[in-house]
Amino acid sequence: MTTRRYEQRLRAETAEETRRRILDAVYARLRAAPTQPVSLEAVAREARVARSTVYLIFGSRAGLFDAVAIDVLERGGFARVVEAVAHPDAREHLRQGVRAGMEMYAAFRDVHRVLFSTAALDPETTAGAMPRADEGRAGGMEYLAKRLAEQGQLRPDVTEEDAANILYLMTGFDSFDQLYTGRGLPVDEVSRLMVATAERAVCR
């Protein structure tokens, strides 16, 4: 490896380490003060970087929280949701996707709770990141409903649009948390109930 390539690799690794420290600092602030707006100054201080570095890496407050919204999903196991989407059987796509989504929420439940609650009470704090994340989930449920319809799996009294709306409701964080935190059920039991309910609601 040439000296230039080695230096480029070191710079890339350093940049990624800095990015990771900043994201971890947001997690720390959300957990330490869940009822308070996240201060970028506090995040920078926690990550041991200048405030300008946060903007340099993420571009804006919105860019930072979009990255957090993506990161919390990826670290929670979003790859399993992607694997479910690739399954040739739409019904199995539903089962595996709902289960993976519940497990993903459980992995970082405390962070998800603060992000969604804050987004509802003070949207500017998270710069619209959570509504944008939910738009992606809505698109995923529309695609799943379309696949179920194409494979003749929908109930006769459930339209494709109705199925997409029902699945969107069933796969939301609040639906998960009503059972996981509200009822104190383990994630395996939440997953079983949500899969069964979603399947019975939209499938033959």
40 within 8 A of 64, measured Cβ to Cβ:
yes
Residue-level pLDDT at 16: 86
> Distance of alpha carbon 191 from its chain centroid, rounded?
16
Q: Is 101 exposed, middle or buried (0-12, 13-18, 19+ CB in 10 A)?
A: buried
Note the residue count of the chain.
204
Whether the per-residue pLDDT at 139 is higher than 60: the answer is yes
CA distances from 98 to 51, 94, 198 (A): 38, 6, 8
- What tokens were used for 142? 């529309």
Token pair listed for 185: 């059920």
Cα–Cα dist 22/52, whole Å: 12
Q: What is the DSSP string of 101-127?
A: HHHHHHHTHHHHHHHHHHHHH-TTTTT
Structural contact between residues 131 and 185, judged by C-beta atoms closer than 8 angstroms: no
pLDDT at 61: 87
**Which pair of structure tokens corresponds to residue 32?**
């330490």
- Between 189 and 116, residue with greater pLDDT: 189
> First vs last Cα of the chain: how many Å apart?
59
Q: How many CA atoms lie within 13 A of 192 on its CB side?
A: 5
Q: What is the pLDDT of residues 6-55, one digit of tens each?
A: 445 545 567 889 999 999 999 999 888 888 888 899 999 999 999 999 99
Q: How confident is the model at residue 62 (pLDDT cuts 50, 70, 90)?
A: confident
* pLDDT value of position 8: 55
| Res 194 pLDDT > 80 | yes
Distance between CA atoms of 128 and 69, rounded to whole angstroms?
Answer: 10
**pTM of the entire structure?**
0.85
Q: Is the pLDDT of residue 134 over 80?
A: yes
**At 48, is the secondary structure helix, strand, or coil?**
coil
